[in-house]
Chain A
Amino acid sequence: DTGVSQDPRHKITKRGQNVTFRCDPISEHNRLYWYRQTLGQGPEFLTYFQNEAQLEKSRLLSDRFSAERPKGSFSTLEIQRTEQGDSAMYLCASSPGFRSGNIYEQYFGPGTRLTVT
Chain B
Amino acid sequence: GDSVTQMEGPVTLSEEAFLTINCTYTATGYPSLFWYVQYPGEGLQLLLKATKADDKGSNKGFEATYRKETTSFHLEKGSVQVSDSAVYFCALSAQGAQKLVFGQGTRLTINP
Contacts and interface: CB of A to CB of B under 8 A. Distances in A.
Contacts of B32: 102-103
A48 B100 CA distance: 11
A45 interface: yes
Contact of B91 (A33, A42, A91): A42
Contacts of A56: 98-99
A13 to B, nearest CB: 22
A93 to B, nearest CB: 8
A58 B99 CA distance: 10
A112 to B, nearest CB: 11
Interface in B30-58: 32, 36, 41-46, 49, 51-52
Given A101-B51, A103-B93, A110 B43 contact: yes
B89 A104 contact: no
Contact of B104 (A35, A40, A109): A40
Interface residues of B, number: 23
Interface string A69-111: 0000000000000000000000101000000011111111111
Interface residues of A, number: 27
Contacts of B45: 108
Given A55-B98, A102-B32, A104-B98, 7 more contacts: A42-B103, A43-B102, A45-B99, A103-B32, A103-B49, A108-B44, A111-B43
Interface of B: 4, 32, 36, 41-46, 49, 51-52, 89, 91, 93, 98-105
Interface of A: 4, 31, 33, 35, 40-45, 48, 55-56, 58, 91, 93, 101-111
